[in-house]
Chains A and B, each alone.
Chain A
Amino acid sequence: MKKITNPENLEILRNSLIKQENPSMTCISVCLGTGCQASGSKDIIESLKQEIEKQKLSEKIKIKSTGCHGFCERGPIVVIRPRGIFYQKVKPEDIAEIINRTILKGEIIDSLLYVEPSTGKKVIYEHEVPFYKKQNRIIFGSNGSIDPTNIEDYIRIEGYSALSRTILKMSPEEIIEEVKRSGLRGRGGGGFPTGVKWESCRNAHGEPKYILCNADEGDPGAFMDRSLLEGNPHSILEGMIIGAYAIGSNEGYIYVRMEYPLAVERLKIAIAQAEEYGLLGKNILGLGFDFTIKINRGAGAFVCGEETALILSIEGKRGDPRQRPPYPAQKGLFGKPTNINNVETWANVPLIINRGAEWYSKIGTAESKGTKIFSLVGKINNTGLIEVPMGMTLREIIYDIGGGIPGGKKFKAVQTGGPSGGCIPEEFIDLPVDYDELTKVGSMMGSGGMIVMDENTCMVDIAKYFLTFLADESCGKCVPCREGVFRMLEIVTDITEGKGKEEDIPLLEELSKTIVDTSLCALGGTAPNPVISTIKYFRSEYEAHIKEKRCPAGVCKALICYEILADKCTGCGACLKVCPQEAISGEKKKVHTITQEKCIKCGICMDTCRFEAIEVK
């Protein structure tokens, strides 16, 4: 491929790509996101290739490996276009049948269809799957139709047209104004207006200026940035180049967390291709603007998601956050003005330029514009990534898109905002989700993790979980976070072990206040949130642990025991064989019993029992 040396040639290439594409040709797209890969989608591609080869159909059928479709729970996902037939949980042995029946004869294979859990209805087409129906996938939607390792796929769907338009027709000030008018706010959690951030970096004194992409998606339970990086890397690069042009920077970095090797691989390919096509590097599109992007792999530190820590980490140092101001816009990477935005924020930029700020600002609520990608996980039927307009209620998200709670269990809470967020109880289920509403109920947007919890989730245990996480990830620089979070963890651990005292709850509240008020960075400043929100909304659970020495959800080991139900036990002996403690006894075909003194509550007996005869009490 020759370098594209001017914007017209980009349009010529795009038009020829659109012409080449035969819309009636059968295209089998297979999801190669991390979730589907883990469920074996690479084997699906192999089988497809072999079968197509065997039947000599390569002229008639195209195979496309795409990024994440979002519905990870049902992987591996295969979509057959142009009809849009949606097959889920596909296995390599299904491939021959798909080719022979669906492709050659046009028949639908019933057993591969998605069945709606609530109605038992089978769904044939992708756009009819209820999980997708209520979404508005303006950012994430292309993931399912493009091959992330092929830049031409991205160019074909308007890719890099925003870039060429901005450099050609807009001044940096006009771009910043457009982004400001769109109302885009940072998707990393804080929700700071993106245009304002850009302006302050543009106006800052000092050269060179740097552009950073924060892909250190550290919040446990959030993986939307990963899917964007893996599924549509060019949209992020395009956003960064536009931002760089607007701010006046020629050098950018993407800081990716180490747990995402596939994202790094896809980014490397994307950067190399963009350079080859003249869309990145020196003299972009022949318009006299230079911009390069380098990738930095993180080394496993949650605090490096904090911007000042991230900057130090790129410089090759420990990621200890520092006091702000000065903000990175004034004094950032190597002491120079630096603009940091999150992955999803960057991916929004080309769309705003292409469709206009006015169109964009019509989506969402008064103060939160556009859509947000959430990872809907935990105790929920339809697990995966969803993109919805800001302002959709939790009820719509959890029940209409998520399909409710599995096993007929009762919804208890939804946790948002990662370790800095809080747990939102059922009384707020009709809350419209946007930056400000979530903050009002004591949680926050964060990067978009939404972990659903049911009646079997212990809220004290959840508080302990986040405190353990934060005590481990605290960098240790300031005392309130280093010591305070640790003390809170000790107190909450005591409560879960039945050693809690009545004065523990007020003590936790007091400590929380001090840590919030006095910590150096946002990690410490928000660390007590999971405790504050669980005490506020689930105080009775804390009290049950402290006063009655009881864990109502049946989670805290010290307060529960496993028992065999005499009316359900068949005496099959399966549990007896797997028990690592030899704590289970009983003759064959007679009711077994657990010797509580020996039991270590590992739960393996319950996993093994096929008759639901073991219960937690």
Chain B
Amino acid sequence: MLRSDPIKVKEILKHYKYEQSSLIHILQDIQVEYRYLPKETMLFVARELKIPLSRIYSVANFYNAFSLKPKGKHLISVCLGTACHVRGGKRIAEEVERTLNVKSGETTPDLEFTLETVNCLGACALGPVVVVDGHYYGQMTSLKMKKLLSSSKGGRGNGKNEKDNKS
């Protein structure tokens, strides 16, 4: 697990000029850096920005982008927008849940994979869509998902499988 580094966090705060109204931007950058919002970092941010920790907690809790628990190295986002839903997106999510033995929003115990279901990625024409580490895979089926997962796991996954993408 990554340890939070006060120098890095200070840089982020400085970039946003310690403005309280930039709280969401600041948390977004910290989330990118550590893949979650570590508790000691939130205490630090609260002190530096002079805002109560409770407000930071309420913001962190409200937005889906923030996680209070560490996320996996690889992020699998299964789209459950309406267009993907009517084309069977839910079955894809269930396939991932079964194979990795996690529920949506959870991370595998080895911190390798996090599964998320999202409400529309805006690539509806390709539905059902799955995004693994920023790489889009369109027209997915449970079978393609199974293959994609085994190739990601096998190669200690960069999550990419060019072949599947073009089928």
A contacts, CB < 8 Å to B: 34-35, 37-40, 72-73, 75, 91, 217-223, 226, 258-261, 296-302, 313-319, 375, 377-379, 383-384, 415, 418, 449, 451, 453, 457, 462, 465-466, 469, 472-473, 475, 578, 580, 602-604, 607-608
Contacts and interface: CB of A to CB of B under 8 A. Distances in A.
Interface in B58-103: 58-59, 62-66, 80-83, 85-88, 91, 94-95, 98
B86 A259 contact: no
13 contacts: A34-B122, A39-B126, A40-B166, A222-B120, A259-B121, A316-B21, A316-B22, A378-B82, A451-B86, A462-B82, A475-B62, A580-B98, A603-B88
Interface in B90-136: 91, 94-95, 98, 118-127, 129, 134, 136
Contact of B62 (A39, A319, A457, A603): A319
A221 B85 CA distance: 10
A479 B154 CA distance: 48
Given A473-B119, A607-B141, 11 more contacts: A34-B123, A72-B124, A91-B166, A221-B82, A222-B120, A226-B122, A316-B21, A317-B59, A378-B82, A378-B83, A451-B83
A34 B136 contact: yes
B50 to A, nearest CB: 13
The residue in B58, B66, B121, B165 that gathers the most chain A C-beta atoms within 10 A of its C-beta is B121
B79 to A, nearest CB: 9
Interface in B131-156: 134, 136-138, 141-143, 146
Nearest to B125: A72
A404 to B, nearest CB: 16
Contact of B86 (A300, A318, A379, A384): A379
Mostly, the B contact residues are helix
B44 to A, nearest CB: 17
B158 interface: no
Nearest to B162: A40
A604 B83 contact: no
B119 A35 contact: no
A39 B124 contact: no
Contacts of A449: 82-83
B63 A453 contact: no
Contacts of B30: none
Nearest to B22: A316
Contacts of A451: 82-83, 86
Given A457-B86, A465-B85, A602-B94, A38 B123 contact: yes
Nearest to B82: A221
The residue in A218, A259, A318, A457 that gathers the most chain B C-beta atoms within 10 A of its C-beta is A259
B143 A608 contact: yes
A297 B25 contact: yes
Nearest to A230: B122
Contact of A37 (B83, B119, B136): B136
B125 A220 contact: no
A215 to B, nearest CB: 11
B24 interface: yes
A378 B86 contact: yes
A604 B142 contact: yes
B23 A316 contact: yes
B82 A220 contact: yes
A220 B126 contact: no
Contact of B125 (A35, A217, A218, A296): A35
A602 B82 contact: no
Contacts of B136: 34, 37-38
A298 B65 CA distance: 9
Contacts of B85: 220, 462, 465
B77 to A, nearest CB: 9
Contacts of A604: 95, 142-143, 146
Nearest to B85: A465
Contacts of B161: none
B45 to A, nearest CB: 12
